Amino acid sequence: MSEHKKVALVTGASAGLGAEFCRQLASRCDVIIAIARSVERLQALAAELENVVEMHCIGADLTTIEGQTRAMEALRQQGPVDYLVNNAGFSTFAPFAESSIDSQRAMLDLHIDATITLCRAAIPFMQERGGGVIINVSSLGALLPGKRLSVYGASKAFLNHFSEALQLELAGSGIEVQALCPGFTRTEFHDALSDHGFARERIPAELWMESSEVVEQSLAALGSGRVLVVPGAHNLAIARTALEKSLAQLG
């Protein structure tokens, strides 16, 4: 009987939180399936981690059916997986009525379709093995509405609800589901937003976190029973205030 290798699949793995998940999961896994559009950047990360973990670099655009199919094939060939990290994401930054509908749909394809597709593929194998971890990277923006970010926030709110409901369905299976809700994080995510009027300098320095901190708190929360994980005390305070305001409006 072959020895069971610990395998992780991470999307959006070429930079930011995705690359950091690969770094921090490397010591927990034997194999990482790293998926992103840039194979060159994945290969550079694989070279960085070559003495720690075996990496398979898959170039795929998960906003497309072709890209999702490539990810599914990688999971079939290199899996099953013990860790599934649905991290790939992007956002536009403009009033909804002035935004390209194609870019909004692409965001839903990436945040929602790709996530549920990979979850659906991974879960039966996790159930068969008696456990696993699914981390759906959401956002603090899922918990409070933001101007010029309407579809982004709504798609992340879907991930929160989906993750919570999925954990209820999987209770007793040994599978743990987490929706990670980071706030402002120093990654390339905001580069594209800056081109459309997002001003980094307007955000107080104390509100920013490093990718390493966010991922460390995500992994540390595994086993706690929490589905929604908001890293950073300042972000947690913001989330609680936003939820209190929402509850106050019920009636």
Asked, as a colleague might, if the bond just before 80 is cis with ω within 30 of 0, I would say yes
Q: What are phi and psi of 173, to 5 degrees?
A: -90, -15
| Distance, CA of 18 to chain centre | 7
C-alpha to C-alpha distance for 179 and 137, rounded to whole angstroms:
6
Q: What are phi and psi of 104, to 5 degrees?
A: -70, -40
C-alpha to C-alpha distance for 74 and 71, rounded to whole angstroms:
5
Q: Is-contact 218 24, C-beta < 8 A?
A: no
Angle at the Cα of 142 from the Cα atoms of 140 and 147, rounded to 5 degrees: 95
Helices (H) and strands (E) in the chain, counts: 9, 7
- The reply to whether 152 belongs to the active site is yes
User: How would you classify the pairing of strands 83-86 and 175-180?
Assistant: unpaired
Active-site option among 83, 93, 152, 158:
152
What does the block give as tokens for 109? 């394809």
Q: Which of 84, 68, 170 is nearest to 135 (CA)?
A: 84
User: How would you classify the pairing of strands 7-11 and 83-86?
Assistant: parallel
| Residues labelled as active-site residues | 152
